[in-house]
Amino acid sequence: MSEPQPPPPGPPEEADVAEPSIEADPEAQTSLAARWDLYQRTGGVITPLLTAIFAFFVGGLVVLVTTGKNPLSTYRAIFDGTGLNWFFPWVTGQEREFAAEDLQQTLLVTTTLILVGIAVAFAFRCGLFNIGGQGQYIAGMIAALQVGVWLPDLAHVPHMILAAGAGALAGAVWAGIAGILKATVGAHEVISTIMLNWIALWIGSYLVGFNGPLQDPNQVFVPVTSEVSQGAKLNVWWGDPKLQGLHIGFFVAIAALVVFWIVLNRTTLGYQVRAVGFNPEAARYGGISVGRNYFLAMAISGAFAGLAGSVDILGWLFRVDLTSVQLSSQIAFIGIAVALLGRNTPLGIFFSALLFGALLNGTSTRNLDPTVFQPELASNLTLIIQGLVVLFVGADLLILYLWRARAKLRRKLRSEPVAQR
């Protein structure tokens, strides 16, 4: 599904989308979690797939209309930059080496996106919309950096774990603020997390910026911090460590997907979180503390975003500079699209993170051939595709309607009509 190829012309799903025939629907499905449940029942690999294809199709149209360039060759150029052609057995020799390097870059981004995607997805399952990935990511970056810079004499493994843990904790605390506000005074988490994003952005800019307390004293003319000590750096297992090879953080992200699944589906906490997500009132009557779960879900989800920040710092950035603080918004917002497109399931998150990671890396200035398509345009194209994905994944009503119609039809066939409401 990660092949960014536009679909053949004449897409049937476009016609579906334009059809607003929904009058006969007896119930409103408003809660996010209830909708997720629906996805489960529709066996919904199809919705995200159609959505992605449709979004890429529209993206291709945009390319065609605005620049007159062939969308196929544009997508082809983007695809070549992702390194995904490494998986093709017929790619050999030097081309394969380049592909391997590109793929390492793609997977580096994928690692981050998986973690921020989980951050959004976990909160989603509790009925919360965590847009605060950016702030939590910045908090994680800075905390991990500090622990990485301090304690230069610590052994390798404990230092790594300590630094990554500090990042996760910082993310949890930052998100926890929004969780507490939601639980106690009912402040809407969307607004509070966005405000926390901006606050983190400015605090981060202050800390690493000129004359900031964390700025590297040896480089007063660059807004950058000192480098984390050698012991805290994550091991590189694929590629050249000097050329940003793929670090073990990738496995941390995979492990996080497993943890995400286990916590959600096999623990009391996960049960309560999901119960609150499905229906907070019912959960309250069932004796579950809604406020406590709001706080915990936010904090846990923030821990994942903070972990994303620390993995980036310890894995390949090694220092925080002003640009990485400011670029964090892009990463965190793609996390939302990752979670939505991945239907908040571990496997779905993995594949959509790969898709967006490839898209991000393929449209980067370094990888996209500017003679084919301008990288600055392409990165905005990514945003448009992302927006369309979120828009259409949210509009599951069509699927809902089809599903209901099918179920109704089956019931009618099986027996005489059940009493109408």
Partner 1 sequence: MTTQAEVVLASGRIKFRIARAAGIAAIALGVLAFWVALPPRTVRSEAVPVVLGLLGIALGLFSWRKGETRLGWTAAMIALLGMLGGVLAAHAAVENLKVVITWSAVIAATLRFATPLIFASIGGLFSERSGVVNIGLEGMMLMGAFFGVLGGDKTDSWVLGILIGMASGAALALVHAFFSIHLRSDQIVSGTAINFLALGITGYLYIDTYGQEGTGDLPAVPDVNLDWLSRIPPEGLGSFLEKSIGHLNLMVWLAFLTVVLAWVVIFRTTIGLRIRSVGEHPRAADTVGISVYATRYAAVVVSGALAALGGVYLSLGFVHSFTENMTAGRGFIALAALIFGKWRPFGALGAAMLFGFASAIAPRLQNVESWATYGTLFQALPYLLTLIAVAGVIGRSIPPAAIGRPYIKQ
Binding residues for partner 1 (CB under 8 A): 20, 22-23, 25, 28-30, 32, 35, 62, 66-67, 129, 131, 181, 185-188, 190-192, 194-199, 201-203, 205-206, 209, 211-212, 333, 336-337, 340, 374, 376-377, 379-391, 393-398
Nearest-5° angle of CA 103, CA 59, CA 382? 45
By beta-carbon proximity to partner 1, the closer residue of 24 and 413 is 24
Minimum distance of partner 1 from residue 374's CB (angstroms): 7
As measured in angstroms, the least distance from the Cβ of 386 to partner 1 is 5
Rounded to whole angstroms, the Cα distance separating 14 from 346 reads 28
Name the minimum Å distance from CB 171 to partner 1: 17
Distance in angstroms (rounded) separating the CA atoms of residues 82 and 248? 20
Q: Return the number of the residue (194 or 288) whose C-beta is nearest partner 1.
A: 194
Q: How far apart are CA 364 and CA 212, in angstroms?
A: 30
- Given the complex with partner 1, which of 246 and 368 has the nearer CB atom? 368
Q: Token pair for residue 24?
A: 């006969």
Alpha carbon 249 to its chain centroid, in Å, reads 16
Rank residues 31 and 244 by Cβ distance to partner 1 and give the closer one. 31
Angstrom distance (rounded) from CA 290 to CA 175: 17
Q: How far is the CB of 81 from partner 1 (least distance, A)?
A: 18
Q: Provide the b/e sequence for 36-70 (b: ≥16 CB within 10 Å).
A: bebbeebebeebbebbbbbbbbbbbebbeeeeeee
Using an 8 Å Cβ cutoff, are 128 and 296 in contact? no
The candidate with the shortest Cα–Cα distance to 119, out of 106, 136, 107, is 136
First to last CA, the chain: 42
In the complex with partner 1, which residue's Cβ is closer, 86 or 401?
A: 401
Pairwise CA distance, residues 311 & 140, whole Å: 9
* Least separation in angstroms between CB 193 and partner 1: 10
Look up residue 302 and give its amino acid.
Answer: G
Provide, rounded to whole angstroms, the least separation between the CB of residue 170 and partner 1: 17
> For residues 305 and 138, what is the distance between their CA atoms, to the nearest angstrom?
9
Q: How many CB atoms lie within 10 A of CB 357?
A: 24
Cα torsion 174, 180, 181, 185 to 10°: value is -170
CB–CB of 223/161 below 8 Å? no
To the nearest whole angstrom, how small is the minimum distance from the Cβ of residue 201 to partner 1?
8
CB burial class (10 A; 0-12, 13-18, 19+) of residue 114?
Answer: buried
In the complex, what is the shortest distance from the CB of residue 185 to partner 1, in angstroms, rounded to a whole number? 4
**Minimum gap (Å) between residue 404 Cβ and partner 1:** 13
Which H or E run contains 236? strand 236-238
Burial 117-134 (b: 16+ CB within 10 A, else e): bbbbbbbbbbbbbbbbbb
For partner 1, the closer CB: 224 or 340: 340
Measured from the CB atom, the residue of 204 and 309 that comes closer to partner 1 is 204
Instruction: Name which of 110 and 386 has its Cβ closer to partner 1.
Output: 386
Rounded to a whole number of angstroms, the minimum distance from the CB of residue 395 to partner 1 is: 4
Closest to partner 1 by CB, 317 or 340: 340
Nearer to partner 1, 24 or 155 (CB): 24
Strand duo 236-238 + 246-247: pairing: antiparallel
The residue (of 198 and 237) whose beta carbon lies closer to partner 1 is 198
Least distance in angstroms from the C-beta of 161 to partner 1: 31
